[in-house]
Amino acid sequence: MKRAFVSRLAVSMLLGALSAAAFSTWAGQIEERQARLAARYGLEKPEGKGPFPAVMLVPGCSGFEHRLWKGHYERTARRLKELGFVTIRVDYLAAADSSSCEVIMNPSELGDDVATAAKYLREQSYVKPDAINLLAWSYGGVPTFHALRKTESREPVQLAAVVAYGPYISLPEQLKVETPVLVLCTAQDTQSACSRVETLLTEEPAKGRLRIVKYEEGYHGFDNSDLPAKVETLNGNVIGYKEATATIAWVEVAKFLRR
């Protein structure tokens, strides 16, 4: 009897030690991820003490540093700064230690990256804690809309508004939209079809929470002036800049964020 008891106790202690070690490793991995994310915030703020509203920028699949997109994100940050917003980058690729979204990543963890960045902004004295917004492009829709979902480890991220250009959405089910959301998409976009957005973002708790603006002209990336008017990508999709659509869309974005 004593030997059996001692054996069970030893096994129990061993399992406890293994669980503690596993938890410590998991916690360490989260800290490393958050540190990589924080190192790439690239915070920009208007002149003065504030407090200011803020916008988190969430890039497409190739991230902030791709030669065709780097300048676009930099210009957008400057434009938002001129409008009086603090901006930071949610570099989920850097957080995951990846160079492209083509490497399989956990959507829930990407949503946690948004939550981490939002928490950081709320801790800054020069940021209005109730005026934190998000602007996403393409695959940036994955971390964005997963951030708006409740998970086992956190509540939905509280944001003043979300704007998404041609977002890719990987939700397994419809999302109940609690945050004001503006989606800008085009009929010519073969990469992030408006129809998928309409399917997954249709369960609205209140009138006016979700607004989908669909333009007839413009390919994926239509707001990026560094792109040619039309070019086919390696995976067969078409991307390209459309100045007229980009200009109209930016008016919508500025109005929505400043509501």
Give the pLDDT mean for 94-99. Answer: 89
Residue type, 258: R
Tokens for 220, please give them. Answer: 């994926």
For residue 192, is pLDDT > 70?
Answer: yes
Whether the per-residue pLDDT at 209 is higher than 70: the answer is yes
pLDDT at 188 over 80: yes
Residue 74, judged by CB atoms within 10 A of its CB (0-12, 13-18, 19+), counts as: middle
CB contact at 8 A, 143 and 61: no
What's the rounded mean pLDDT across residues 20-48? 79
CA–CA gap between residue 243 and residue 252 (Å, rounded):
14
Q: What is the mean pLDDT of the chain?
A: 87
Residue with the bigger pLDDT between 173 and 23: it is 173
Provide CATH code, domain 52-257: 3.40.50.1820
CA distance 188 to 167: 14
pLDDT value for 22: 45
Give the pLDDT confidence score for residue 19 in this predicted structure.
58
Q: Does 234 have pLDDT greater than 90?
A: no
pLDDT above 90 (res 194): no
pLDDT: which is higher, 174 or 245: 245
- The answer to whether the CB of 184 falls within 8 A of the CB of 215 is yes
Token couple for 89: 């980058």
Model confidence band, residue 10 (pLDDT cutoffs 50, 70, 90): low
**Which of these, 137, 149, 229, lies nearest to 192 by C-alpha position?**
137
Distance CA 181, CA 206 (A): 12
pLDDT band of 27, cuts 50, 70, 90: low
Average pLDDT over residues 210-226: 94
pLDDT of 23 over the 60 cut: no
